[in-house]
Structure 1
Amino acid sequence: MYPLDVVKTRFQLQVGKGGADGYTSIADCLKKIVRNEGPAALYRGILPPIAVEAPKRAVKFAANEQYTLFYKRLFGMDRVTQPLSILTGMSAGATEAFLVVSFELVKIRLQDKNNAGKYSGTMDAVKKIYAEEGASAFVKGLESCLWRHAIWSGGYFGVIHGVRSALPEAHSKEGVLFRNFVAGAIGGTVGTMLNTPFDVVKTRVQGQLPGQPAKYGWAFPALRTIAKEEGFGALYKGFAPKVLRLGPGGGILLVVFDQVSGFIRKHLL
């Protein structure tokens, strides 16, 4: 699914229509990347997300469970409600953001077509970013990253609770799998609908290089700037490849988490 992430980033970094070399659709973007940069460019920057993907998901679900216990005690609640699911999800997403922000920065720099030839690989990018911008560069975009992850996870876990409550109880293994996939896929889709504007901002902030005017800073002023200069639709650049990846991905994520955690609880604890 990673080429879709490259496509998403290219669209989010593209100001306006991008001129003669701009991308008009997912297929057009994939075709131009392969034609102009070679097939390997579809996987440029893949090492940072590979390195952080498993820890990121572990932190998301572990933090969500711990925040659930914390907020239930704090508010004196004996059961989980949908508002509580949204709150715990947002808290877990914000926690997750601190882990991923540096990896996201390196990935964005490698995926940007304007940086082609600037970095020979992931470690070369890390060294050059540190040499040119200092250690603080690796937390660039943290605020928008916090909003991105908090809103996605809040929507994800909130929708999962709602869908599970609305669907009939499953009485077979297959039924449980299907119920979880549907809930997770809808949750992933809604989370993506909610957080894409903050993802666009994060990408723009992290894509800014030293020596260039810092056009994008804090998340909400940046949202206004993009909407004013490029129209409201620009806040959803890259939405199609993003939702194609995170919609079904959200379903698979919940199914795998439920099955693996259930196995561990039954056989290893």
Structure 2
Amino acid sequence: MAEKKVSSLPAKLINGGVAGLVGVTCVFPIDLAKTRLQNQQGVPVYKGMMDCLAKTVRSEGYFGCYRGAAVNLTLVTPEKAIKLAANDVFRQKLSKDGHLPLWGEVLAGCGAGTCQVVVTTPMEMLKIQLQDAGRLAAQRTVPTAAQAAAPGPAQTLVAPPPARPSPPPPPRASATGITVELLKTRGLAGLYRGAGATLVRDVPFSMIYFPLFANLNALGRERVGDVQVRAPFWQSFMAGCGAGSVAAVAVTPLDVIKTRLQTLQKGDGEETYKGIVDCTRRIMTREGPSAFLKGAACRALVIAPLFGIAQGVYFLGVGETLLGLLG
């Protein structure tokens, strides 16, 4: 089957929105594990993705794996819609006679990544606070290095003072409460904390992802005149998974920096950073180069199916069908 005629912008926005909703619903627990693993400093609470998910279910219940999902599901529609639609629009503008050179594909991806930051930054800012709250609560039950090295009762010469009752846990945070507090104390800039790091992450991601996806999606497809045969659903899905996993791992160091900068509440002994350069330097000095790959496997497992589902749904043409029914 030949490619359909160029879709309208409203159809592209609907396709991107539906794709984002489906994808996020499927992979959000792994994204939660990624955030918690990336924020770990010092004594680890979680040994890996499966350990994180298992402890989260035990302590917070199954729906604890979806903390912050409401924010993501609310804002992922405009975020994915902008990203996918902007890339299509830029590709159309940069194409000549139906052909787009590699530099045009990279530039279109750059434009898409830049456009989405206006929604991605506040979305991830709120999501990270909600996702990381469970890690901070669990960290309180993990003994520190000093406590582990302290002498036992047989070695203690003086009787220890009676234990003080632990303070009650803080009230459970909500996206609305965090938003109101940030707007009160820091204004709109509070919601855009880490915008520079988000841009530095998303632009390279899109510059890698979109050209790679387009070329994988075109493999083995013939042309009928000037029109290329449309890829089947499975090829679009697999192309999205492959391109997504490669791009995700490539920019994981930038994602670690962004996550650390956007995390407002820090655990005992955890660092606070002044910016991208300061964060990079402190992580390198304190934790070593391997810290920049924390959560890389989780991130690949999140992004691969997310973009596979997104591209598959996008190419099904849900928006065109819906607009056709309404029209």
Shift of 1:118: 4.6
Residues 38-57 of structure 1 aligned to structure 2 (within 5 Å): 38-57=61-80
Contact 2:90 2:108 in 1 (8 A): yes
Q: With structure 2 as the length reference, what TM-score do the two structures score?
A: 0.71
The answer to whether residue 305 in structure 2 is matched with residue 248 in structure 1 is: yes
Pick aligned residue for 2:101 from 70, 81, 92: 81
1:5 aligns with 2:31: yes
CA contact (8 A) 1:198 1:219 kept: no
1:164 and 2:217 correspond: yes
* Distance (whole Å) between structure 1 residues aligned to residue 92 and residue 230 of structure 2: 29
Partner AA of 1:134 in structure 2: G
Check the 8 A contact 1:97/1:146 in 2, yes or no.
yes
- Is contact 1:143–1:218 with CA below 8 Å preserved after alignment? no
Unaligned ranges ≥5, structure 2:
1-26, 138-168, 224-228
Counterpart amino acid of residue 257 in structure 2: V
Q: 1:191 corresponds to which residue?
A: 247
Contact in 1 for aligned 2:105/2:210 (Cα 8 Å): yes
C-alpha distance in 2 between matches for 1:80 and 1:261: 25
Structure 1 pair 243/124, CA: closer, same or farther in 2 (3 Å)?
Answer: same
Query: Which amino acid is 2:263 matched to?
Result: G
Equivalent residue in structure 2 for 1:112, among 132, 140, 143: 132
The aligned amino acid for 2:112 is: A
1:84 to 1:220, Cα distance in 2 relative to 1, 3 A: farther
Q: CA deviation at 1:197?
A: 1.3
Determine if contact 2:221/2:230 at 8 Å carries over to the other structure: no
Structure number with greater Rg is 2
Q: Which has the higher helix share?
A: 1
1:86–1:36 distance in 2 versus 1, CA, 3 Å = same
DSSP 3-state at the match of 1:54: helix
Correspondence for 1:100: 120
Render the CA deviation track for 1:169-218: whole Å, top value 9, x for unaligned. 179x99611221221111111110122111111111110359x9984344
Aligned-residue RMSD, C-alpha: 2.9
Q: Calculate percent identity across the aligned residue pairs.
A: 28
**Per-residue CA distance 1:106-129 (angstroms, 9 max, x = gap):** 111111233773544221222223
Matches within 5 A, 1:29-40: 29-40=52-63
Unmatched 5+ stretches in structure 1: none
Are the counterparts in 1 of residues 94 and 100 from structure 2 also a CA contact under 8 Å? no
SS of the equivalent of 2:112 reads helix
Q: How far, CA to CA, are the matches of 1:217 and 1:162 in structure 2?
A: 39
Q: Number of residue pairs matched?
A: 260
**Cα distance in 2, alignment partners of residues 181 and 98 from structure 1:** 27
With over 3 angstroms needed to count, the CA separation of the structure-2 counterparts of 1:30 and 1:111, relative to structure 1, is: same
TM-score by length of 1: 0.85
